[in-house]
Amino acid sequence: MPTRSIAAMCGRFVSSTPPDQLAQYFEVDEMPEQLLERGPNYNTAPTTDVFVVHSDGSARRLDAFRWGLVPFWAKDISVGNRMINARAETVAEKPAFRKALAHRRCIIPADGFYEWKKEPGSKRKQPYFIHRPDGEPFAFAGLWEVWKGPMDRARSGAGTTGEGQLPPPEPLHSCTIITTGANEKMSELHDRMPVILPRSAWDEWLSPEVDDTELLGRLLVPAPSEIITFHPVSTEVNNVRNKGEHLIEPTPEPVL
């Protein structure tokens, strides 16, 4: 059976700009060479690795982290499946996000995202592709974390050395997209949208030296309606196995 879109906002997006171009666009200083092998994905879904831009204070990096934030205290990686989004209104209060908001923020580049709108008088939902009119990438506000495995395993010493012991788990880097209320244009489709950071906010958002969450919260507002446009697309996007460029091609407007 096809995998349906999930109810969260944002739950699917497009990642089509090559990593070297992203590095240039976001003024990145360092990037692992293996990222250059990654091709475009026009139907990026939760639990997959996505591009992130982050900074350690001395260098700005482009990396790939798992989409679905796994808090450092989580007992199981599946916790991240429920944390693909963080609400701007509560992100500073939730235990899973508040430390990341203060210390581990990132930008998640996206060439657009999808949203589904229920058609009046029908159970069918029409997918739409939302993107910038100028074709540039969105800069979604995001958070990231490092998970080193179940805490009880770490306390027991499993995975250290010795015959018969499990190898230590690889640290997992994961991320989430922050959402806020919809602007006027986006409200035609949904009541929420990803936080889209203007270029003027990138340095402040990425700086590890900025830890004033009240100040940072002022950046978590709806983007201007002028920077988004959208059109209906094929229901093929409902199936996450479909990842081709044809998914963003316009289809006729649904008859309401």
What per-residue confidence (pLDDT) applies to 156? 40
On whether the CB atoms of residues 147 and 172 are closer than 8 A, the answer is: yes
Maximal CA-CA distance, the chain: 67
What per-residue confidence (pLDDT) applies to 35? 97
What per-residue confidence (pLDDT) applies to 121? 77
Instruction: Let me know if residue 240 belongs to a domain.
Output: no
> Distance (Å, rounded) from C-alpha 50 to C-alpha 7?
20
Q: Is the pTM of this model over 0.75?
A: yes
Is the pLDDT confidence value at 158 over 50? no
Q: Which two tokens stand for residue 94?
A: 């939730």
Catalytic residue positions, numbered: 10, 115
Instruction: Let me know if residue 2 belongs to a domain.
Output: no
Instruction: Let me know if residue 136 belongs to a domain.
Output: yes
Alpha helices in the chain (DSSP H): 19-25, 98-103, 151-156, 202-206, 213-217
Is the pLDDT confidence value at 153 over 80? no
Stretch 119-140: mean pLDDT, rounded?
A: 93
Q: How many domains does the chain have?
A: 1
Give residue-wise pLDDT tens across range 227-253. 999 999 999 999 999 999 999 999 987
Look-up: residue for tokens 């739950």? 11
What per-residue confidence (pLDDT) applies to 130? 98
Q: How confident is the model at residue 159 (pLDDT cuts 50, 70, 90)?
A: very low
CB atoms within 10 A of CB 42: 23
Instruction: Let me know if residue 237 belongs to a domain.
Output: no
Instruction: Let me know if residue 26 belongs to a domain.
Output: yes
Instruction: Let me know if residue 3 belongs to a domain.
Output: no
Domain containing 114: what range? 13-232
On whether the CB atoms of residues 54 and 105 are closer than 8 A, the answer is: yes
Instruction: Let me know if residue 245 belongs to a domain.
Output: no
Residue-averaged pLDDT of the chain: 90
Least confident among 80-84, 154-158, 194-198, 205-209: 154-158
- The CATH code of the domain that includes 44 is 3.90.1680.10
Instruction: Let me know if residue 255 belongs to a domain.
Output: no
Give residue-wise pLDDT tens across range 49-66. 999 999 998 999 999 999
Q: How confident is the model at residue 150 (pLDDT cuts 50, 70, 90)?
A: confident
